[in-house]
Amino acid sequence: MSTALTTQNSERLTLARPLFARDVALAVTNPLDTQPDPFAAELVGLSSNAVDKRRREFSAGRAAAHAAMKDLGWQPQPVLVGKNRAPVWPTGLTGSITHTRSCAMAVVARNDTVRALGIDVEEDTPLSDDLLPAICSDFERAWLRAQANSGQLAKVIFSAKEAAYKCQYTLSQRFFGFDGMELELDLAQGHFQAHFTAEQPPFARGTVIDGCFAIGVGVIVTTAELRN
């Protein structure tokens, strides 16, 4: 790994680490760097027709997951690809994986203390205006219009919904669109609340998932956590 990529990974880890409690392990890798080969059982979930970019991101995500397990004190084990392409964590663990072209992150925790985790990383670029109607509610768009950096904050909303969605999916195993949650952002504290706009068992309408976000080192990182 080049010195530049090592430094960037370290800076991104420093950015994201405060977003989770200390009993949640977090690791960062870079898909642009060479990664260890995933476990053979993991590669079963990767299409033989996958392009190089997809292979790099998959390998980087699994490498981050294995590093996070090791940091938690667990022997690295395969993270399989389940139905709907969601990661299947080894018995006793829960976690989440995310990646962009230049950054992959994974978080892992014991599932006797943490029910579910969600993490999302996006490049720190504005969200395209043409995507707003599909991603943001009327309430969210009205709030964005009052912000000086609305394009960047729209990307934060997109990312936060991704993190909250991943978190809830662990428990609900349910798919729904971006309109299934409505967000409130606390810019001063770097916090958000994702409100369910409809019942998604075991979550009732109005249930809130709390999360955090941070921006820096060229990325937007959002996180969500449900504890026992």
Same domain, 146 and 202: yes
> Can you give the pLDDT at residue 1?
62
pLDDT band of residue 123 (cuts 50, 70, 90) is: very high
Q: What is the CATH number of the domain that holds 100?
A: 3.90.470.20
**198 and 130 together in one domain:** yes
Mean pLDDT for the stretch of residues 173-181? 95
95 and 127 within one domain: no
Q: Are 64 and 137 members of one domain?
A: no
Tokens 């790099």 locate to: 56
- How remote is the C-alpha of 71 from its chain's centroid? 18
Q: Which whole number is the average pLDDT over 115-125?
A: 97
pLDDT at 187: 96
Same domain, 50 and 69: yes
Picking from 114, 136, 169, the residue at the C-terminal end of a domain is: 114
Indicate if 87 and 9 belong to the same structural domain.
yes
Neighbour count for residue 198 (Cβ, 10 Å)? 12
73 and 155 share one domain: no
Kindly state the greatest CA–CA separation across the chain: 50
Task: Judge if 9 and 95 occupy the same domain.
Answer: yes
Q: Do 135 and 41 fall into the same domain?
A: no
Tens of pLDDT, residues 56-98: 999 999 999 999 999 999 999 999 998 788 999 999 999 999 9
205 contact partners, CB below 8 Å, separation of at least 6 = 196, 197, 198, 199
What's the rounded mean pLDDT across residues 183-190?
A: 97
pLDDT value for 82: 87
pLDDT for 153-175, tens place per residue?
999 999 999 999 999 999 999 99
We report the CATH number of the domain holding residue 219 as 3.90.470
Name the band, by pLDDT with cuts 50, 70 and 90, for residue 50: confident
Query: What's phi and psi for 146, nearest 5 deg?
Result: -90, 0
Using pLDDT thresholds of 50, 70 and 90, give the confidence band for residue 6: confident
Last residue in a domain, options 114, 134, 167? 114
As for how many domains the chain has, the answer is 2
- Of 128, 126, 121, the residue nearest 107 (C-alpha): 121
Dist CA 201 CA 203 (whole Å): 5
Q: What percent of the chain has pLDDT over 90?
A: 91
One-letter amino acid at 161 equals: K
Last residue of a domain, one of 114, 136, 156: 114
The parent domain of residue 35 ranges over: 3-114
Considering the domain architecture, whether residues 130 and 181 belong to the same structural domain is answered as yes
Q: Are 127 and 90 in the same domain?
A: no
Are 135 and 54 within one domain? no
